[in-house]
Amino acid sequence: MSTADGAQPPDTTPDGTRQTAGDVGVSVEDGIRSLLLLMPRMVGRAKRIKVPAELSGFSLAPRHLSLFSYLLFDGPLTVNELAARLEVAPATVSLMVSDLGRQGILDRTPDPADRRRTIVTIAPAHRPAIDAWLARGATAWRTALTPLTPTERTLFIRTLTAYEDALTDEPS
N-terminal to C-terminal alpha carbon distance within the chain: 40
Tell me the CATH number at 114: 1.10.10.10
For residue 29, being part of any structural domain is answered with no
For residues 44-48, give the mean pLDDT.
85
For residues 100-114, give the mean pLDDT.
92
Residue 88's pLDDT is what? 92
- Between residues 66 and 59, the one the model is more confident about: 66
Q: What's the pLDDT tens digit per position in 136-156? A: 889 999 999 999 999 999 999
For residue 119, being part of any structural domain is answered with yes
For residue 32, being part of any structural domain is answered with no
- Between residues 16 and 124, the one the model is more confident about: 124
Answer yes or no: is pLDDT of 1 > 60: no
For residue 6, being part of any structural domain is answered with no
Question: Could you give the percent of the chain with pLDDT greater than 90?
Answer: 56
φ, ψ of residue 115 in degrees (nearest 5): -60, -10
| pTM for the structure as a whole | 0.72
Distance CA 40, CA 22 (A): 20
Q: Which domain holds residue 64?
A: 60-123
The count of domains in the chain is 1
For residue 102, being part of any structural domain is answered with yes
For residue 77, being part of any structural domain is answered with yes
How sure is the predictor about 21, in pLDDT bands with cuts at 50, 70 and 90? Answer: low
SS (H, E, C) the chain: CCCCCCCCCCCECCCCCECCHHHHCCCHHHHHHHHHHHHHHHHHHHHCCCCCHHHCCCCCCHHHHHHHHHHHHHCCEEHHHHHHHHCCCHHHHHHHHHHHHHCCCEEEEEECCEEEEEEEEECCCCHHHHHHHHHHHHHHHHHHHCCCCHHHHHHHHHHHHHHHHHHHCCCC
For residue 92, being part of any structural domain is answered with yes
Q: What's the pLDDT tens digit per position in 70-100? A: 999 999 999 999 999 998 999 999 999 999 9
Distance CA 77, CA 87 (A): 14
